[in-house]
């Protein structure tokens, strides 16, 4: 789905597919360098990180393994519920692995803080975070995102894996959802 297909649902276009792609390739180059010889375990957070994981992993020139977790922090609305639950855990062990969490967006940072703490207790060799987007609120919770795509405003955004009520994940770029869609 292209930005033009849902242009009237968006109050603003933040990034096109090409801009996101170019940034993800830069991030992959950093990951290549930092993890050379260490075969990182990329842990994608379903469902939002699917696009980021697909693009980041394919842009790498080093070997990596991929696994997935599903966590719920939002319902189907637009505000954080503050409740974090593991809906699906990983299939492989993280013990002594170099874990790179791949997340779509960091908003309050609540999901990531919980996840980092949870994975750290399983004795990985290291844990870092790669996220496509970060909202200003994240700074307050001091979540360190080593590989960040873009800092964005605190508006509710959709596209590149991010949904509103299950829709827009397949949108190629990133845009601000018009309040008229959810009010
Ligand atoms: P946090 O725990 O507040 O950082 O929220 C993280 C999760 O909330 C993300 O992984 C997304 O699934 C979802 N989320 C946060 N902001 C947005 C947004 O603007 N659009 C769509 N989903 C969002």
Per domain, the residue ranges of the chain are 18-152
| 107 in catalytic set | yes
Whole-number Cα distances in Å, 18 to 11, 24, 172, 175 = 20, 10, 9, 14
Q: Which fold has domain 18-152?
A: Rossmann fold (3.40.50)
pLDDT in the model for residue 142: 81
Token code pair at residue 91 = 């299939």
Give 127 Cα–ligand 1 centroid separation in angstroms. Answer: 20
Angle at 127 between CA 123 and CA 128, to 5 degrees: 175
Token code pair at residue 89 = 């855990």
CB contact at 8 A, 123 and 94: yes
Atom of ligand 1 nearest to the CA of 80: 3
Atom of ligand 1 nearest to the CA of 158: 20
Give the contacts of 139 (CB within 8 A, at least 6 positions apart). Answer: none
- pTM value is 0.94
Atom of ligand 1 nearest to the CA of 155: 19
Question: Quick check: CB of 104 below 6 Å from ligand 1?
Answer: yes
Q: Distance between alpha carbon 21 and the CA centroid of its chain, in Å?
A: 14
Angle at 122 between CA 118 and CA 127, to 5 degrees: 70
Question: Quick check: CB of 105 below 6 Å from ligand 1?
Answer: yes
Q: Of the listed 9, 55, 107, 163, which one is catalytic?
A: 107
Stated as kind and residue range, the H or E segment containing 10 is strand 10-15
Distance CA(143)–CA(135), nearest Å, equals 12
Cross-strand partners of 71:
86
pLDDT in the model for residue 83: 67
Alpha-helix runs per DSSP H in 35-171: 50-59, 110-120
Question: Quick check: CB of 161 below 6 Å from ligand 1?
Answer: no
Q: Distance between alpha carbon 95 and the CA centroid of its chain, in Å?
A: 23
Ordered per-residue pLDDT tens for the chain, 183 residues: 999 999 999 999 999 999 999 999 999 999 999 999 999 999 999 999 999 999 999 999 999 999 999 988 655 555 565 568 899 999 999 999 999 999 999 998 988 988 999 999 999 999 999 999 999 988 777 889 999 999 999 999 999 999 999 999 999 999 999 999 998
pLDDT in the model for residue 94: 97
pLDDT in the model for residue 95: 98
Give 104 Cα–ligand 1 centroid separation in angstroms. Answer: 8
Give 48 Cα–ligand 1 centroid separation in angstroms. Answer: 9
Give 130 Cα–ligand 1 centroid separation in angstroms. Answer: 14
CB contact at 8 A, 62 and 35: yes
Residue among 105, 109, 173 whose CB has most ligand 1 atoms within 8 A, to mutate: 105
Atom of ligand 1 nearest to the CA of 73: 2
């Amino acid at each position: 789905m292209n930005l033009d297909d849902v242009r009237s649902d968006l109050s603003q276009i933040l990034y096109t597919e090409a801009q996101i792609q170019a940034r993800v390739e830069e991030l992959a180059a950093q990951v290549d360098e930092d993890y050379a010889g260490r075969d990182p375990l990329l842990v994608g957070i379903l469902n939002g990180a699917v696009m980021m994981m697909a693009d980041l992993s394919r842009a790498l020139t080093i070997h990596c393994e991929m696994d997935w977790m599903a966590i719920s922090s939002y319902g189907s609305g637009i505000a954080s519920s503050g409740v974090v639950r593991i809906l699906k855990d990983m299939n492989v062990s993280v013990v002594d692995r170099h874990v790179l969490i791949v997340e779509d967006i960091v908003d309050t940072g609540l999901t990531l803080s919980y996840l980092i703490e949870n994975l750290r207790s399983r004795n990985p060799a290291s844990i870092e975070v790669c996220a496509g987007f970060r909202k200003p609120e994240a700074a307050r919770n001091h979540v360190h995102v080593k590989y960040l795509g873009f800092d964005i405003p605190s508006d509710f955004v959709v596209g590149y894996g991010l949904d509103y009520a299950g829709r827009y994940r397949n949108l190629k770029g990133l845009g601000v959802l018009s309040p008229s869609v959810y009010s």
